[in-house]
């Protein structure tokens, strides 16, 4: 009897954490799990999208950097001139003109930027933002930051 009890306790204590490889999982369950794991950065491969506050949908999580001054005034992939004082960003796939909310994971600061260029072309980065946006997100000194990209929910 004691052996059965010990074996049962061992089996129950070795259960693994929840993994989100299926896109069919209930979004509410995924949101609750993510809210419980706030200190742990999200891996954009683990989740498809999450409804936050009924307004924003989590698109991806990763590293961001910002444009250097040498790009100021140059044409972007969308054809407009880059301006480091505007709230713009480069993303590899999001359509030009898309407004996204970018959150710095370390300090929870958020800023809305508009996609007007393609990039970044540096490995392991998902977004390049203008200097103005980087100042607002407070990562100019570090050069990069772990960020979350949210898209606005269509109404």
Q: Where are the domains of the chain?
A: 2-152
Mean pLDDT, all residues of the chain: 77
If pLDDT is split at 50, 70 and 90, which confidence band does 86 have?
A: very high
Q: What predicted TM-score, i.e. pTM, was given to this entire model?
A: 0.66
Residue 25 is predicted with a pLDDT of: 39
If pLDDT is split at 50, 70 and 90, which confidence band does 42 have?
A: very low
What is the token pair recorded at 73?
Answer: 């005034």
Top pLDDT among 46 and 97 is at 97
**Cα dist. 37→30, 34, 117, 143 in Å?**
11, 5, 33, 26
| CB-CB contact of 27 with 50 (8 Å) | yes
Helix/strand/coil (H, E, C) string of 21-44?
CCCCCCHHHHHHHHHHCCCCCCCC
Residue 51 is predicted with a pLDDT of: 52
Give the range with max mean pLDDT: 28-32, 67-71, 147-151.
Answer: 147-151
Note the CATH number of domain 2-152: 2.40.40.10
Residue 68 is predicted with a pLDDT of: 85
Question: Containing H/E element for 51?
Answer: strand 51-52
Q: Is the model's pLDDT at 28 over the cut of 50?
A: no
If pLDDT is split at 50, 70 and 90, which confidence band does 150 have?
A: very high
CB atoms near residue 152 (< 10 Å): 13
| CB-CB contact of 148 with 44 (8 Å) | no
Residue 125 is predicted with a pLDDT of: 96
CA distance 116 to 11: 53
Residue 76 is predicted with a pLDDT of: 96
CA distance 99 to 87: 10
């Amino acid at each position: 009897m004691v052996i059965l009890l010990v074996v049962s306790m061992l089996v129950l204590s070795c259960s693994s954490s929840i993994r989100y490889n299926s896109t069919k999982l209930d979004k509410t369950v995924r949101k609750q799990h993510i809210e419980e794991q706030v200190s742990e950065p999200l891996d954009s491969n683990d989740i498809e999208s999450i409804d936050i506050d009924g307004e924003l949908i989590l698109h991806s999580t990763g590293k961001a950097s910002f444009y250097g001054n040498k790009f100021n005034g140059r044409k972007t992939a969308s054809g407009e001139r880059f301006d480091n004082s505007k709230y713009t960003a480069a993303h590899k796939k999001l359509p030009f003109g898309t407004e996204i909310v970018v959150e710095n994971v370390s300090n929870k600061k958020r800023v809305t930027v508009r996609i007007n260029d393609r990039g970044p072309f540096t490995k392991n980065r998902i977004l390049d933002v203008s200097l103005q946006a980087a100042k607002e997100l407070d990562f100019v000194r570090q050069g990069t930051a772990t960020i979350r990209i949210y898209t606005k929910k269509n109404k």
